[in-house]
Amino acid sequence: MNILNKYILEKFLKTFVFVVIIMIMVVVVIDFTEKNDKFIKNNVSYIDILNYYYSFVPFVVSLVTPITSFIATVYVTAQLANRTEIIAILSSGKSFKSIIKPFLYGSIIIASASFILNGFIIPHLNKDRIAFELMYIKSPYFFSDKNVHFKIDDESYLYLERYDNNMDIGYNVTIENFDNLKLKNKLFARQIIWDKDLEIWKFKSWKKRVLNIDGEDVESGLEFDTTLLISPSDFDNKYGLSETLTMGELNDFIQLQKLRGSDEIKFYVIEKYIRYAQPFTVIILVILGVIIASRKSRQGTGYLIALGFSFAFIFIIFFVMARAFAENGTVEPIVAVWLPNIIFGGLTYYMYSLIPK
């Protein structure tokens, strides 16, 4: 790496860190102001609050990384252009690629760090953050769904009329077992109760119908114990759950939800695709930022920074809309998540083609 690349790369990374710090300070102050009443009401200690923000800050950093990297790029490039440094570089015989190269190196560093943090480190911190918010910030959770269905294995289905997540009791339970789409047996129970000590389910007042060639056999009893591919956690508050799962845990959870035929699987699939797409978002936005701010403007650096903010705002709108379409089932999750990257990647390529090399 030559002196020019080192100079621009160092300037870019320092600016990125500075912008991230400013952004964190603003977000933390706003967040603390909004939640301070809850802290006082629940008599939360200063140590617990500090621990909460210890896990909250990395979450915010991961959230704003694409935008802060774009803003840092526009700011640094605009400064280079305003000081005619870009003109001097091009006049020395170097191509425009030599200006993009250090920013590309920096974006790859940021993107790689972002992927590692989002996939394997921040989820562990989010466990504490989410637990804190559920305890002190959010309202008490009650599982209110009625007539719940679960696919508990390839050929078994469970039905619950309702579930009390405070007592860990399900009411009017049915389990159906099939063999090649043909009903093999059916189990009814008035209640299903979770035994915390043994980590098993207890069926109360049960009756089982077993279908065979000669007809059916009926068995009944007051209680029996069994294990199922569900646990009380399946009825807990799912708030922020996807953010607490590492990449390996997220893949396992998605496979489990596929097995059960869950309608909520799309939210976790979207989270998975976002983690893979975000590093590419960083790289695309950084290159776009260089192209936008590389020409000296009569309006000064402030105009180019404002222009950069406009593009960042447009990107956020695209991303939010695409995610909403994916969650509503209008668009396939992988298409919706990657659509902003595709659009802005195409825009970046088009704008690059117009710049004199």
Burial code (b: 16+ CB inside 10 Å, e: under 16) for 327-352 equals eeeebebeebbbbbbeebbebbeeeb
Distance (Å, whole) CA 338 – CA 325: 12
- Residue 256 confidence (pLDDT): 87
Distance (Å, whole) CA 355 – CA 2: 24
- Residue 349 confidence (pLDDT): 93
- Model confidence over 311-345: pLDDT tens digits? 888 888 888 888 888 888 888 999 999 999 999 99
What residue ranges do the domains of the chain occupy? 3-139+264-354, 148-236
3-state secondary structure of 97: helix
CA distances from 44 to 11, 27, 51, 138, 279 (A): 41, 20, 11, 14, 36
| pTM, 2 dp | 0.89
305 pLDDT more than 80: no
CA distances from 313 to 77, 118, 317, 333, 345 (A): 19, 22, 6, 22, 16
- Model confidence over 123-165: pLDDT tens digits? 999 999 999 999 999 988 889 889 998 888 888 999 999 999 9
299 pLDDT more than 80: no
Q: Where does residue 230 fall: left (phi above 0), alpha (psi -120 to 50 degrees), or beta otherwise?
A: beta
Average pLDDT for 208-229: 90
For residue 214, name the pLDDT band (cuts at 50, 70, 90). confident
- Residue 154 confidence (pLDDT): 82
**First CA to last CA distance, the chain:** 21
